[in-house]
Amino acid sequence: MKNLSPNEWENNEQTERNRVEPSTLYLVATPIGNLSDITYRAVKVLSEVDFIAAEDTRNTPKLLSRYEIKKPLVSYYEHNKRERGEYIASRLEAGESCALVTDAGTPAISDPGEDLVVLCRERNIKVVSIPGACAAITALTLSGLPTRRFCFEGFLTTVRGQRKQRLRELSRETRTLVIYEAPHKLKLTLEDLYEAFGDRRVALCRELTKLNEEARLMTLSEAVAYYSENQPRGEFVLVIEGAEEEAPVGADLPVAEHVQKYIDAGMTKMDAIKAAARDRGVPKSEVYAEINK
Ligand code: SAM
C-alpha cells in the first residue's frame, strides 16, 4: 500500500468509517513526551469533534497548536470530575461529540478518564477509544524483562501500611509488574519493594520519549543504593520482575523451621525472618512474634 501523507489520508475514502459521530465520547491518546507520537486518526478526531475535554488546559493547547487545531476546551480533572462529568455527559446526550485528552498518554489509564467512561457507559453514551501512547506499555516493551504476561498496578497507595500490605500480596505474583511512580516518592517505594520482593530485577524507565529518556535495568538493592546517592528526576515507570514460578522453599513448614532453614543457609536471624515473611506473604512482625512465643 502506498504511504499516505496526513492530508491524503484524511481525504482517502478508507477513512469514511473514521468520521466523527454525534453523541460520542472519543478517548484520544496523546504523546507522553515527544509531540510527534500521535496518530493521524487522533489528529483528525481532535479536529472534528465539537469540543475537547482536557485534564490540563495549560498543556493541551501546546499539542493542539502544533497540529493547528482550534477547538473549545473544557477542563476535566480529578477535583472537578464529578460535576464536570455530568456536564460533559449532558452535552453528549444533546448530540455533541467530545474528545477526552488527559495529561499524557491513554485516557482512563491511571487518570480520571476512567470515571468519565463509567458515567458514559451507564448513560448508554457511545465511547470510542483512539489508541496511541501509554507510558506503561512503552516502559514494558523496552524493559528487557518478560513481556508475555504482565500485570499493571498503576500508582501504589501513599498510605505506607496499606502499600506494604499490597506489596506483600503481590510478592508471589509471577507476572512482570508495572507501576507508576512520582519522583519524590521513588526512594521510599524502592525500599518497600526491596523489603517485600527481595532482590529482583527492576527496570527504572524515566522521561520516556523525551530528550533524557532512560531505562536502567538493575536489582532492587542496587536501585535503592543508586537513588540514595542520586536525586530522582522526571516521571517514572517501574517494571519489576515477577516471582519465581516454583513455591518458595519452606513456605509449607511451621514458621520456626522455615526461619531456621534460612539461618542454616547462612543468613542472620533478622534476614531469615524477613525472607520467611516474604515467602509466606505476611508481615515480618508476624513471623517474629510467632518464633518468640
Ligand atoms: N494515562 C497515562 C498513560 O497512558 O500512560 C498515565 C497517566 S498517570 C496520571 C501519569 C504517570 O504516567 C506518571 O506519574 C508516570 O509514572 C507515567 N508517565 C507518564 N509519562 C511518562 C514518561 N514520559 N516517562 C515515564 N513515565 C511516564
pLDDT tens for 49-61 read 999 999 998 889 9
Choose the residue to mutate in 236, 239, 240 for probing ligand 1, maximizing ligand atoms within 8 Å of C-beta: 236
Q: Tell me if 208 CB under 6 Å of ligand 1.
A: yes
Does 218 lie in the same domain as 161? yes
Report CA(179)–ligand 1 centroid distance (Å).
10
pLDDT digits (tens, 9 = 90+) for 113-125: 999 999 999 999 9
Dihedral angle computed from the Cα positions of residues 91, 93, 99 and 100, in that order, rounded to the nearest 10 degrees = 80
For the segment 98-122, the average pLDDT, to the nearest whole number, is 97
For the segment 103-119, the average pLDDT, to the nearest whole number, is 97
The model's pTM: 0.84
pLDDT digits (tens, 9 = 90+) for 263-292: 887 888 888 888 888 888 888 888 888 888
Task: Using DSSP, state whether 205 is helix, strand or coil.
Answer: strand
In a domain, residue 249? The reply is: no
Q: Tell me if 236 CB under 6 Å of ligand 1.
A: yes
Q: How many domains does the chain have?
A: 3
**Residue 261 pLDDT greater than 80, yes or no:** yes
Does 202 lie in the same domain as 117? no
Please give the mean pLDDT across all residues of the chain: 92
User: Residue 248's CB: how many other CB atoms inside 10 A?
Assistant: 18
Could you tell me where the DSSP H helices lie in the chain?
Answer: 6-11, 40-48, 60-66, 81-93, 113-122, 135-142, 160-170, 186-197, 220-229, 255-264, 269-280, 284-291
Q: Tell me if 250 CB under 6 Å of ligand 1.
A: no
Last residue of a domain, which of 85, 118, 133? 133
For the segment 257-264, the average pLDDT, to the nearest whole number, is 86
* Residue (of 166, 140, 162) closest to 240 by Cα position: 140
**Residue 137 pLDDT greater than 60, yes or no:** yes
In a domain, residue 245? The reply is: no
Choose the residue to mutate in 56, 110, 202 for probing ligand 1, maximizing ligand atoms within 8 Å of C-beta: 110
Last residue of a domain, which of 111, 133, 155? 133
Q: Tell me if 232 CB under 6 Å of ligand 1.
A: no
In a domain, residue 248? The reply is: no
Residue with cell 446526550: 93
Choose the residue to mutate in 106, 109, 180, 208 for probing ligand 1, maximizing ligand atoms within 8 Å of C-beta: 180
Does 88 lie in the same domain as 30? yes
Q: Whose CA is nearest to atom 2 of ligand 1?
A: 105
Task: Using DSSP, state whether 104 is helix, strand or coil.
Answer: coil
pLDDT digits (tens, 9 = 90+) for 160-178: 999 999 999 999 999 999 9
**Residue 1 pLDDT greater than 50, yes or no:** no
Last residue of a domain, which of 106, 133, 160? 133
The 98-101 sheet, strands edge to edge? 73-75, 51-54, 98-101, 24-28, 126-130
Does 18 lie in the same domain as 116? yes
Does 56 lie in the same domain as 45? yes
Report CA(180)–ligand 1 centroid distance (Å).
7
**Domain span holding position 222:** 136-240
**Residue 14 pLDDT greater than 60, yes or no:** no
